Chains A and B, each alone.
Chain A
Amino acid sequence: DAGITQSPRHKVTETGTPVTLRCHQTENHRYMYWYRQDPGHGLRLIHYSYGVKDTDKGEVSDGYSVSRSKTEDFLLTLESATSSQTSVYFCAISTGTGVFEQYFGPGTRLTVT
């Protein structure tokens, strides 16, 4: 258990509404990541963070923003949810001590209707 929690675990929302997903870690690791998982695509990187207030875009960042005001929390926001953002979202952490093996949270299943 890598000490990662995600909330909510399930959410149904309507098109056009803002949504925020939270990732919380208890390990004090520097690096945190958000991925989305869709059938036929594997996992794709949305955004990542090197530390507090230090974030960068991944492969599929359009329509998403992130914030990290504390080491332990990494928030993913969908500014105006669309049906194409229906997915399972995984948060991951990495120790970053030379090997960037990642440990994944339990996931959030988001449905945009």
Chain B
Amino acid sequence: ELKVEQNPLFLSMQEGKNYTIYCNYSTTSDRLYWYRQDPGKSLESLFVLLSNGAVKQEGRLMASLDTKARLSTLHITAAVHDLSATYFCAVDVGGADGLTFGKGTHLIIQP
């Protein structure tokens, strides 16, 4: 059974600081997805990582994938309040059988 673990599950940080969210998974996969969810809203796709060593960046967010370590990271640089949200990673083990999600990281960025 595939397990996806995120940590931390809750993170409160100040604006301007850097931090990293970690996503570990238990089965071989080279496809990992990051989503953002605002309170009461749906999930928004942030990054699609499709191979070992993949790195994607959008604004203050950068995601990377190490398939050998079964680890993805989401790095936040110089955080701003607008990045406050819940971030989910999800793993695809191949095919169209759906994604397995981590429990999410609730991120609060305080002025």
Which chain A residues have a beta carbon within 8 Å of chain B's beta carbons? 30-31, 33, 35, 40-45, 48, 50, 56, 58-59, 90, 94, 96, 99-107
Once the chains are docked, how many angstroms separate the CA of A105 from the CA of B44?
Answer: 10
Taking a contact as CB atoms under 8 Å apart, the answer to whether A94 and B96 are in contact is: yes
Chain A residues near B59 (CB, 8 Å)? none
Where the two chains meet, the residues of B that have a C-beta atom closer than 8 Å to any C-beta of A are 4, 31, 33, 35, 41-45, 48, 50, 88, 90, 92, 95-104
Q: Which of A43, A99, A105, A107 contacts B101 (CB 8 A)?
A: A43
How far does the alpha carbon of A110 sit from the alpha carbon of B41 in the complex, in Å?
A: 15
B45: chain A residues within 8 A (beta carbon): 101-103
With the chains together, A100 CA to B49 CA distance in Å?
11
Contact call A58/B98, Cβ cutoff below 8 A: yes
| A99 contacts B96, C-beta separation under 8 Å | no
Q: A42-B88, A90-B43, A106-B42 are in contact. Are A100 and B96 (CB under 8 A)?
A: yes
CB–CB A99/B31 < 8 A = yes
Q: Among the listed A31, A41, A105, A107, which residue makes an inter-chain contact with B96, where contact means beta carbons less than 8 Å apart?
A: A31
Interface centre among B42, B44, B92 (most CB of A within 10 A): B42
Cα of A37 to Cα of B102 in the assembled complex, Å = 11
Inter-subunit contact A44/B33 (CB<8 Å): no
Looking at B45, B96, B97, B104, which has the most chain A CB atoms within 10 Å of its CB?
Answer: B96
Q: Give the CA-CA distance A94 to B96 in the complex, in Å.
A: 8
Q: How far is the CB of B93 from chain A (nearest CB, A)?
A: 10
A5 and B62 CA atoms in complex are apart in Å by 30
Known A-B contacts: A31-B96, A41-B103. Give 11 more (CB < 8 A).
A44-B101, A45-B98, A45-B99, A50-B96, A94-B96, A96-B96, A100-B96, A102-B90, A102-B99, A103-B45, A106-B41
CB-nearest residue of chain A to B2:
A59
Expressed in whole angstroms, the Cα–Cα distance for A107 and B42 within the complex equals 6
CA distance A102 to B48 in the complex (A): 10
Other-chain contact of A99, B50, B90, B104 (Cβ < 8 Å): B50
Give the complex CA separation of A44 and B3 in angstroms: 12
